[in-house]
């Protein structure tokens, strides 16, 4: 084996190892982002479901960016106080209601979607819908846009 051949083989092995390492790191990163989102959306759902206002604020503290926006067909607010006031109004309208995820969350490039339903105290669905949002690099939710009901049929 010539010196050049040995060098060539070394570079091939080295490049493959680098590439494998990078892919593993990237897969780990994706899995960790998915975990972050799972954690954030779990706390988010609990905050919507909590009857106690102080408990809601505590749940949002770790996962809701304070400059985050929340928008649905009936609301368009900024920050933790904004979201808390929307949840407060939801509980006034539907005392004892809970937010239940209907799908897992889909995530790419920090952008996610998931389906949910709000279940009243009597177990009936009071509204269902889909949320789209952004997960920040710190694992906090930066934006949620909700839509109610199914996708509109084509006109």
Chain positions contacting its own copies, by CB under 8 A: 71-73, 76, 101-106, 108-109, 111, 113-115, 130, 132, 145, 147, 151-155
Which one, 43 or 115, has the nearer CB to its own copies?
115
Which one, 137 or 152, has the nearer CB to its own copies?
152
CB of 146 to its own copies, least distance (A): 9
CB of 143 to its own copies, least distance (A): 10
Helix (H) or strand (E) holding 2: none
Cα–Cα distance measured from residue 131 to residue 146, given in angstroms and rounded to the nearest whole number: 4
CB of 1 to its own copies, least distance (A): 41
Which one, 86 or 130, has the nearer CB to its own copies?
130
Burial 11-25 (b: 16+ CB within 10 A, else e): eeeeeeeeeeeeeee
User: Cβ(133)–Cβ(146) under 8 Å?
Assistant: no
Q: 10 Å Cβ neighbour count for 61? A: 13
């Amino acid at each position: 084996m010539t010196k050049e051949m040995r060098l060539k083989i070394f570079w091939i092995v080295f490049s493959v190892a680098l590439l494998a390492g990078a892919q593993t790191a990237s897969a780990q990163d994706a899995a960790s982002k998915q975990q972050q989102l799972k954690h954030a959306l779990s706390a988010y759902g609990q905050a919507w479901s909590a009857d106690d206002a102080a408990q809601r604020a505590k749940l949002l503290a770790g996962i809701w960016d304070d400059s985050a926006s929340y928008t649905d067909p009936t609301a368009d607010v900024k920050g933790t106080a904004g979201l808390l006031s929307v949840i407060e109004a939801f509980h006034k309208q539907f005392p004892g209601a809970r937010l239940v995820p209907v799908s897992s969350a889909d995530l790419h490039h920090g952008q996610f979607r998931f389906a949910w339903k709000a279940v009243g105290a009597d177990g009936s669905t009071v509204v269902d819908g889909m949320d789209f949002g952004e997960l920040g690099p710190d694992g906090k939710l930066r934006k949620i846009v909700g839509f109610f009901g199914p996708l509109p049929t084509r006109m």
